[in-house]
Structure 1
Amino acid sequence: MISAEQVLTSRFKPTRFSVGYDQDEVDNFLDRVVATLRHAESGQQTGSPLQPNEVSSARFATTKWREGYDQAQVDALLGEVVATIEHHRERGAL
């Protein structure tokens, strides 16, 4: 399981000359992930919580000649997020 704080402090290897994910799009999506996990951890409602399928189907624009985030690292984090949200749903926190 991954916590909201861990997602908030996650750092990804930057890419410049290889394909990466658009940093702003990833950061904006991770803000929603953090809000969802905080809701599950504390019970504070902060908008509409993300569902596991929304996380697993998230798509981001790619970059090649400007800095982006390493795709494998972002995908791995999102995989952990899906498992965590599913866990919280099973226990009734979401």
Structure 2
Amino acid sequence: MSAMSRVLTAEDVRNAEFSKPPIGKRGYDKKSVDDFLQLVARRLDGRGHLSADDVRNIGFPKPPMFQRGYDEDEVDALLDAVVATLEL
């Protein structure tokens, strides 16, 4: 069973790592993703009020020009797994 097809824990979210996007793509801003994932981890620890809709509707800015952030597909896959976990 893959990490994305099971219930996620706060520790899973805290330990998530993402690749850089392909050359020519900027991806998602790292700080914005990291800050949001801290909120997600708090929620999974039972200390936050984030809903599945909040996760589903989040948007991240691009990193500054000439910098590459996190691969969008990898971040989106984790967020899909978070939504599935929150909807259980």
Q: Does the TM-score normalized on the shorter chain lie above 0.5?
A: yes
The structure having more radius of gyration, on CA atoms, is: 1
Is 1:26 the counterpart of 2:33? The answer is yes
Contact 2:26-2:67 within 8 A present in 1 as well: no
1:54 matched to which residue of 2? 54
* Greater fraction strand: 1
Quote the offset at 1:62 in angstroms: 1.2
Residues of 1 paired with 2:49 and 2:87: CA distance?
12
- Deviation string for 1:56-76 (max 9, x for gaps)? 000000135202000000000
Pick which of 12-21 and 51-60 moved more.
12-21
1:75 matched to which residue of 2? 76
Which blocks of at least 5 consecutive residues in structure 1 are unaligned?
A: 40-45, 88-94
Residues of 2 paired with 1:81 and 1:49: CA distance?
14
2:16 matched to which residue of 1? 10
1:36 matched to which residue of 2? 43
* TM-score normalised to structure 2 length: 0.84
Root-mean-square deviation over aligned CA pairs: 1.4
- Deviation string for 1:22-75 (max 9, x for gaps)? 000000000000000011xxxxxx3x4100000000000013520200000000
Aligned residues: percent identity?
A: 36
Residues of 2 paired with 1:5 and 1:49: CA distance?
18
* TM-score normalised to structure 1 length: 0.79
